[in-house]
Amino acid sequence: MPDTKLPLDKKSSSIRAMFGDIAHCYDRLNHLLSLNVDRYWRWRTTRLVPPDLSGPHLDVCTGTGDLALAYHRAAGGKLEVVATDFCAPMLVRGHAKAAGKIPFLVADTMRLPFPDASFRAVTVAFGLRNVADTLAGLREMARVCAPGGTVAVLEFSTPRPWPLRPLYLWYFRNILPVIGRWVSRSSDFAYSYLPASVAAFPEREALAAIFAEAGIPGATWRSLTFGIATLYWGRKPAGIP
């Protein structure tokens, strides 16, 4: 993983303020900086981990709700989806996009306000690396997932093939923060934080091991777009409350 000189401040108050500052342009920047490939990643997630109509679906760290809405669309509107995030300005944007199709609730992923085994699937897209404690966040996701249900994480990763890897890292560390600052008109922290947080986040085998520690053994993963993003998923064993 690349080195970074930026200290990662993952206190809840800092992360909440950072995302609140860029909520007004969050969707536009996501699509611009990924050349719209982020839409494909979410669509692909709903194919690799298809909607389970036997119970409700929870999307945590939902931001403006793109993955939650992708699941709602993939199920033809027949899936009960709940979306949570601890940044209210993000949820305001998501609520406007959803037009009443799904509820958006303010909630911290490390302290979800739901009983055990409430959902058939629990997902997160590009948000788990922002949780202060990755293991604690995954444990909460597993706790509210029903036995036999699925926990899935879509997250940025670092491509391994040469020469894509050095080109990607150069873009991610030098170009992306400049574009982010220019479009968002915000401080440089948010789009400098992004490559730093990706660099510090466990990938592939390492994250699968954290899945197992959180109560989701045997998690698998699929690299997307040459490894720029990776989808991880696993089932909560039956018989575990």
- Within 10 Å of residue 115's Cβ, how many Cβ atoms? 8
Question: Phi/psi at 230 (nearest 5 deg)?
Answer: -140, 135
As a whole number of angstroms, the distance between CA 150 and CA 235 comes to 4
Contact criterion met (CB below 8 Å) for 66 and 42: yes
Render each residue's pLDDT in the chain as its tens digit; 241 residues. 333 344 455 666 778 888 888 888 888 888 887 889 999 999 999 999 999 999 999 999 999 999 999 999 999 999 999 999 999 999 999 999 999 999 999 999 999 999 999 999 999 999 999 999 999 999 999 999 999 999 999 999 999 888 888 998 898 888 878 877 777 666 555 667 778 888 889 999 999 999 999 999 999 999 999 999 999 999 999 876 6
As a whole number of angstroms, the distance between CA 5 and CA 14 comes to 18
Q: Token pair of 92, please?
A: 């305001």
Q: How would you label 45-84 residue by residue, b for 16+ Cβ within 10 Å and e otherwise?
A: bbeebebbeebbbbbbbbbbbbbbbbbbbbbeeebebbbb
pLDDT at 218: 96
As a whole number of angstroms, the distance between CA 209 and CA 212 comes to 5
Q: Token pair of 140, please?
A: 């909460």
CATH of domain 12-235: 3.40.50.150
**pTM of the prediction?**
0.91
pLDDT at 114: 98
pLDDT at 4: 37
Sign of CA dihedral 145, 154, 93, 190: positive
As a whole number of angstroms, the distance between CA 186 and CA 123 comes to 29
